[in-house]
């Protein structure tokens, strides 16, 4: 039915291909039903499964596969941080930060009380150069964090702040983040995700959430590193951008403190970034790849790229 192998010594992800010439969408759909238990067990063991070589060409075909395989409702990303566009039926673009930027390893919505269990990435158009989606084992990341740092993060937790502007044409507006221009709907979604909210001058919005730094997987019982303090903290910005915010007295778009409001030392965050960098495994895309991640066990990121790159994302 299928053949499996690994692309690297870290065994992330497990690759599954058809074991014969039948690589049709129907064959993939049949596998989704007959081999579902195998794939789910593989996700719990390895954290990521790559379905490669199947004839999936459109976003609609990808969406149908995810619904069939998952048997679950799609996750509503409204209120999330990353700029992305809804495509159809609960499918989004992957993060739309400028292509020259690298995105460090992170677990989707680890800053929120509500996060997806599984992520499904689909490569509609492979990047011309670069553009790998990076992967990292969240269990291994936790093991490599300095014990004193880990203890402090677990004790104090992490507070995430977002400052969203009132401009429906901006990717960094509350309208884009919450997929609505209705303030009452925004406030309701904030309550759903257990976020504090504060309407500021000029119609801007501050959203704050305080979360644990680690999480325990509900099926395996394993503890994982599950926060984005390093990505939210202003030290993640380049010096010029950070300086502009300071000089102009502007609030940073993203910020992070310990849960008690005390600052997180830049040196501590740099130590965490070094661990994330060490655990980073690049996945080079091929057209029609479907990459499935257990969002708690496997962190993901993105390498810079040039030229066309179209990666879709569904979450359950």
In the predicted model, is pLDDT for residue 88 greater than 90?
no
Pair 94, 164 in one domain: no
The reply to whether 146 and 252 lie within a common domain is yes
- 120 with 95, same domain: the answer is yes
| Percent above pLDDT 90 for the chain | 81
pLDDT single digits (tens) 275-313: 999 999 999 999 999 999 999 999 999 999 999 999 999
CATH number for the domain harbouring residue 63: 3.60.130.10
Same domain, 290 and 245: no
CA distance linking residue 189 with residue 161, whole number of Å: 16
Number of domains comprising the chain: 2
- Provide the pLDDT for residue 256: 98
Residue 42: both structure tokens together: 């593989």
Tokens representing 67?
A: 């619904």
Residues 115 and 149 in one domain: no
Please check the confidence at residue 149 and state whether its pLDDT lies above 90.
yes
pLDDT digits (tens, 9 = 90+) for 41-82: 999 999 999 999 999 999 999 999 999 999 999 998 877 787
Residues 245-262 have a mean pLDDT of: 92
Structural domain that includes position 195: 140-275
8 A C-beta contact, residue 206 and residue 162: yes
Give 215-270 as a DSSP string: EE-TTT--EEE---HHHHSGGGS-HHHHHHHHHTTPPPSEEEEETTSPPPPHHHHH
Sign of CA dihedral 250, 252, 253, 256: negative
Beta bridge partners of 195: none
Task: Tell me: do 178 and 63 sit in the same domain.
Answer: no
What is the pLDDT confidence band of residue 83, given thresholds at 50, 70 and 90? Answer: confident
The verdict on 189 and 112 lying in the same domain is: no
Q: Which of 51, 113, 58 is nearest to 80 (CA)?
A: 113
Same domain, 131 and 8: yes
Q: What is the pTM of this model?
A: 0.93
């Amino acid at each position: 039915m299928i053949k499996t192998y690994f692309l690297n010594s870290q065994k992330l992800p497990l690759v599954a291909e058809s074991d014969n010439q039948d690589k049709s969408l129907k064959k993939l759909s049949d596998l989704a039903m007959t081999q579902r238990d195998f794939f789910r067990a593989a996700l719990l063991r390895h954290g990521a499964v790559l379905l490669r070589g199947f004839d999936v060409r459109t976003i609609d075909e990808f969406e149908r596969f995810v619904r069939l395989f998952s048997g679950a409702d799609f996750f509503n990303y409204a209120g999330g941080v990353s700029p992305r566009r809804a495509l159809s039926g609960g499918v989004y673009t992957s993060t739309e930060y400028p292509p020259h930027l690298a995105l460090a390893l992170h677990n989707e919505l680890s800053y929120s009380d509500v996060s997806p269990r599984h992520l499904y990435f689909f490569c509609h158009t492979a990047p011309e150069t670069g553009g790998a989606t990076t992967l990292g084992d969240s269990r291994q990341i936790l093991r490599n964090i300095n014990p004193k740092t880990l203890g402090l993060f677990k004790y104090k937790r992490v507070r995430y702040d977002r400052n969203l502007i009132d401009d429906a044409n901006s990717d960094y507006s509350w309208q884009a983040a919450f997929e609505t221009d209705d303030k009452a709907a925004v406030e309701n979604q904030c309550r759903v995700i257990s976020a504090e909210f504060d309407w500021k001058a000029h119609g801007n919005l501050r959203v704050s959430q305080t979360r644990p730094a680690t999480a325990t997987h509900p099926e395996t019982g394993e503890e994982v590193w599950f926060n984005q303090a390093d990505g939210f903290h202003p030290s993640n910005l380049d010096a010029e951008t950070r300086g502009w915010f300071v000089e102009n007295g502007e609030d940073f778009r993203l910020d992070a403190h310990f849960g008690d409001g005390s600052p997180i030392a830049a040196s501590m965050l740099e130590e965490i970034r070094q661990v994330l960098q060490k655990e980073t495994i690049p996945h080079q895309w091929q057209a029609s790849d479907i990459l499935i991640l257990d969002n708690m066990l496997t962190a993901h990121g993105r390498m810079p790229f040039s030229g066309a790159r179209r990666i879709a994302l569904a979450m359950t």
